[in-house]
Amino acid sequence: MLYSVTVGLRDDDAAEWASSTRSHTLATASPSLTPLSDSANHPLEHSHSASETTQPLNRTMSSPGQLAGDQVYLGTYLLDRLAQLDVKCLFGVPGDFNLTFLDLVEEHPEVQWIGNCNELNAAYAADGYARVKQAQINSIREGEQAGSKPGHATTHGGKDKTQGGVRGLGALLTTFGVGELSAVNGIAGAYSERVPILHIVGVPSTKLQKSKALLHHTLGNGEFTVFEQASAGITCARAFLQRAEEAAQEIDRVLLAALTTARPAYVTLPTDLVFVPVPKKRLEDPIIPMRVGFEDKNVLPTGKKVEEEEKNRLQFVVGEIERLWNDAKEPIILIDACAIRYGVGHLVRDLVHATGVKFYTTPMGRTAIDEDPSNGFGGVYVGEVTDPKVKEVVEKTDLALMVGSLKSDFNTGEFSYSFPTEQTVELHSDHTLVQYAHYPSISFHQLLPALTKVLKHKPHVTHPPSDRGLQTQIPDGDADKVVSQAAFWPMMGKFFEEGDIVVAETGTSSFGMISTPLPKGSTFVSQVLWGSIGWTGGATLGALLAAKEAPKPRRVILFIGDGSLQLTVQEVATMVRLDLKPILVVLNNDGYTIEKKIHGETAGYNDISSWNWQSMLDFFNAYDQPKPTRSWLAPTRRELERILADDEFRKADRIQVLEVKMDKLDAPVALEKQGKLSAELNAA
Ligand SMILES: Cc1ncc(C[n+]2csc(CCOP(=O)(O)OP(=O)(O)O)c2C)c(N)n1
Ligand SMILES: [Mg+2]
């Protein structure tokens, strides 16, 4: 049996999934509903669970004895599941309620423990890891997954049968209350941006919970489910484990939900359940997110088969889109975030090639497929914020086929998209919109290959500008002054190499990257919708570890403002410790420039304390045998040019900081425009 989902789930309906699973977890969590006081009713629980294994927390719990060959500890079961889903790194912070599980992590042959400086950074890192893993899978066609092992959950019989959902998963381990709450912002960001993370929380034993013990990390009121409830709105499914016999099934349920909805899920691991034995056999059934299915079987005419109806429905929608396509003189394809998150990059690429039309991306859709003009790339579309030449061409289209759109403010130029509904088709993971018609449960996983077969090749009437609206020309400027934002971004565009992973923090960095060319095989990582500053400090660590799993070496280049880096800077220490080699570009403009562009240009609240970025690597490299590092300072444009041309810098063979001095009020054009739009909207 495969653990599969064929229920209908709309992109915005994860909340429904959450509420349906919530009632399930409540049933197992609530002492009044769960026969916790009656563990003798449950043989497995009686022999291995609360009553026997609730002991003082000490390391003897990690060696509770030999298991029969067909059994595995629940903690190991969970790790084996993660390994099957190709999760090789577990991020987090230890705490006494997760220590014995950590013993199993240390023993595990495939999952590596990455201890972080705090749980927020750990959640960010799990997010960055999942994104880059997904991006690395995206360029590969179904069934061609490099390095996949038979029996892995992502493959089945050697051929990838995933028809929906995602495969880039992250994992996070925290401790009860204090740890898990510190991760909340990171988990919420992953929920908002559609990144699946399994958040595992080590919690007190079921017996201590039942006795309402006045434990550390509790609120002192005997409530043990309150932190799980705090995660309710920011996870797609939760399992508050209480009973040994259903624990493995519960773990599978939340993992499947995370992969199906591309959202984080939550599971508690009470100290007394870590070592309960569960049958190994269950691991033989992989967890495969299946495509969304026909959700309401009651609407079927009597006697009709679901499969037949689904096929007919798909054909009908394909026909509708084909009809519009045939009539259109110059259709375009607009690629957005969910095309990346749901791993359909290769399917969109096939459609672009088959139809020969130009494709554009939103800021969140960048690098879904290679962005070179020979590939059909026309530029980045962000409504009013778009380069005027690109905007004109895009808005001339008579049919915009949008794939995975996520129309948030910063992704649409403050909702200034300009496509009439009659001229749009939207393909999503779990529904399709054709003009005004809505087709639930028609997913782009099915639709894209079907369209690639039937949509006609269309010659272009109008052409995007040859620079695709990206800043390829470096404007002149005084070589002895600080570099301008206008010159800095095209300079970086020239510095990028094939395969680079480019991470951009909220601020002048994320807006500067909107108009910066990205090379073949590159991956762009940014948190445009959630926009929690400091996110990239953790996410870069995750990206670096995911990059290590890529078949070829990849440079990881972070652009981060001086204000944002102050939030999560400690994680640089983890990068040093693990001998990772990012290029950390710190834009030192003396404060919160992005905020100044929206409001309070000279206000004191947009100032920050000044840090010595040149000492950062030394400070975090306080080992007996320090790792090699390099710190570069570019106080002038001339100096920056020299550094960027330096082979020592380019080869990225150690962790490096490049501090670039910039003017306080200098901002990329896209931010100047967005700042005005945001200020107007805030005042409305
Ligand atoms: C966690 C969090 N706190 C506050 C904010 C509000 N905020 C958005 S951008 C920003 C300033 C970023 O400044 P910096 O990193 O220096 O970027 P730049 O100067 O390059 O614009 C702040 C405070 C936020 N987005 N996230
Ligand atoms: Mg700044």
Ordered DSSP codes for 292-346: P----GGGSPTT--HHHHHHHHHHHHHHHHHHHHHH-SSEEEEE-HHHHHTT-HH
**Ligand 1 center to 592 CA (angstroms):** 6
CA 181 vs CA 78, 201, 218, 385: distances in Å: 22, 10, 12, 36
593 lines ligand 1 (CB under 6 A): yes
State residue 300's pLDDT score.
61
CA–CA separation, 441 vs 428, rounded Å? Answer: 9
State residue 675's pLDDT score.
86
399 falls within a domain: yes
Query: Ion ligand 2 — residues with CB under 5 Å?
Result: 561-563, 589, 593
Residues 592 and 626 in one domain: yes
Residues 280 and 312 in one domain: no
**Ligand 2 center to 481 CA (angstroms):** 18
What percentage of the chain has pLDDT greater than the value 90?
A: 76
Which amino acid, 442? I
State residue 372's pLDDT score.
83
592 lines ligand 1 (CB under 6 A): yes
CATH of the domain at 221: 3.40.50.970
For the chain, the domain total comes to: 3
**Ligand 1 center to 678 CA (angstroms):** 14
* Nearest ligand for residue 560 CA: 1
* Nearest ligand for residue 558 CA: 1
583 φ, ψ to 5°? Answer: -105, 115
DSSP calls for 121-175: HHHHHHHHHHHHHHHHHHTSPTT--TT--TT-TT-BTTB----SS----EEEEEE
302 φ, ψ to 5°? Answer: -50, 135
675 lines ligand 1 (CB under 6 A): no
CA 461 vs CA 417, 421, 677: distances in Å: 22, 22, 32
Q: Whose CA is nearest to atom 9 of ligand 1?
A: 507
CA 22 vs CA 171, 183, 237, 355, 515: distances in Å: 21, 20, 7, 44, 43
Least confident segment among 139-148, 254-263, 392-401, 491-500: 139-148
Non-local CB neighbours of 142 within 8 Å, separated by 6+ positions: 159, 160, 162, 346
Judge whether residue 261 has pLDDT over 50.
yes
506 lines ligand 1 (CB under 6 A): yes
- The pair of structure tokens assigned to 596 is 């100044």
What's the pLDDT tens digit per position in 427-474?
999 999 999 999 988 999 999 999 999 999 998 888 899 999 999 999
Range 249-278 average pLDDT: 97
Judge whether residue 190 has pLDDT over 60.
yes
**Ligand 1 center to 608 CA (angstroms):** 11
504 lines ligand 1 (CB under 6 A): no
What confidence category does residue 53 fall into, taking pLDDT thresholds of 50, 70 and 90? very low
29 falls within a domain: no
Residues 213 and 149 in one domain: yes
Judge whether residue 158 has pLDDT over 50.
no
Judge whether residue 328 has pLDDT over 90.
yes
CATH of the domain at 335: 3.40.50.1220
**Ligand 2 center to 401 CA (angstroms):** 37
Residues 341 and 429 in one domain: yes
467 falls within a domain: no
Q: Which residue has the tokens 């929608």?
A: 317
State residue 57's pLDDT score.
36
Residues 280 and 336 in one domain: no
Positions marked active-site? 96, 119, 216-217, 531, 562, 589, 591, 595
CA-597 nearest atom, ligand 1: 21
The residue among 48 and 337 whose pLDDT is bigger is 337
What confidence category does residue 165 fall into, taking pLDDT thresholds of 50, 70 and 90? low
Beta strands in 399-536 (DSSP E): 399-403, 424-427, 431-434, 437-440, 501-504, 523-526
Structural domain of 593: 485-516+522-683
Residues 268 and 350 in one domain: no
State residue 455's pLDDT score.
97
DSSP tag of 472: -
Ligand 1 mutation target, pool 187, 586, 592, most atoms within 8 A of CB: 592
**Ligand 1 center to 80 CA (angstroms):** 39
Judge whether residue 390 has pLDDT over 50.
yes
* Nearest ligand for residue 534 CA: 1
* Nearest ligand for residue 564 CA: 1
Residues 537 and 500 in one domain: yes
What percentage of the chain has pLDDT greater than the value 70?
A: 85
Sign of CA dihedral 114, 118, 124, 127: positive
Least confident segment among 32-36, 149-153, 212-216, 552-556: 32-36
What's the pLDDT tens digit per position in 246-257?
999 999 999 999
Specify the length of the chain in residues: 684
The residue among 7 and 604 whose pLDDT is bigger is 604
Judge whether residue 62 has pLDDT over 70.
no
State residue 154's pLDDT score.
37
Ligand 1 mutation target, pool 564, 589, 610, most atoms within 8 A of CB: 564
CA–CA separation, 664 vs 86, rounded Å? Answer: 44
C-alpha angle with apex 149: 145 to 155, nearest 5 degrees?
A: 60
What's the pLDDT tens digit per position in 207-231?
999 999 999 999 999 999 999 999 9
511 lines ligand 1 (CB under 6 A): no
CA 281 vs CA 70, 85, 152: distances in Å: 7, 17, 14
Range 259-283 average pLDDT: 97
Judge whether residue 151 has pLDDT over 50.
no
Residues 278 and 325 in one domain: no
Q: Which residue has the tokens 């996520």?
A: 406
Residues 439 and 498 in one domain: no
C-alpha angle with apex 306: 305 to 312, nearest 5 degrees?
A: 90
Last residue of a domain, one of 228, 250, 284: 284
568 lines ligand 1 (CB under 6 A): no
Q: Are strands 89-92 and 112-115 parallel, antiparallel or unpaired?
A: parallel
Residues 438 and 501 in one domain: no
155 lines ligand 1 (CB under 6 A): no
**Ligand 1 center to 533 CA (angstroms):** 5
200 falls within a domain: yes
435 falls within a domain: yes
**Ligand 1 center to 595 CA (angstroms):** 7
Distance, first Cα to last Cα, the chain: 55
DSSP calls for 516-535: S---TT-EEEE-TTT--TTH
Residues 357 and 504 in one domain: no
Judge whether residue 199 has pLDDT over 90.
yes
Last residue of a domain, one of 269, 284, 299: 284
274 falls within a domain: yes
Q: Whose CA is nearest to atom 13 of ligand 1?
A: 592
DSSP tag of 284: G
Range 179-203 average pLDDT: 98
Residues 270 and 338 in one domain: no
297 falls within a domain: no
Judge whether residue 110 has pLDDT over 90.
yes
Range 325-350 average pLDDT: 94
CA torsion angle 418 424 426 427 (round to 10): -130
CA–CA separation, 385 vs 514, rounded Å? Answer: 9
State residue 296's pLDDT score.
57
Ligand 1 mutation target, pool 595, 666, 678, most atoms within 8 A of CB: 595
Judge whether residue 35 has pLDDT over 70.
no
589 lines ligand 1 (CB under 6 A): yes
Range 133-150 average pLDDT: 62
Last residue of a domain, one of 251, 284, 317: 284
Judge whether residue 7 has pLDDT over 50.
no
What confidence category does residue 10 fall into, taking pLDDT thresholds of 50, 70 and 90? very low
CA-564 nearest atom, ligand 1: 15
169 lines ligand 1 (CB under 6 A): no
CA 24 vs CA 28, 224, 253, 610: distances in Å: 7, 17, 11, 51
* Nearest ligand for residue 537 CA: 1
CA–CA separation, 136 vs 547, rounded Å? Answer: 8
Least confident segment among 23-37, 573-587, 637-651: 23-37
366 falls within a domain: yes
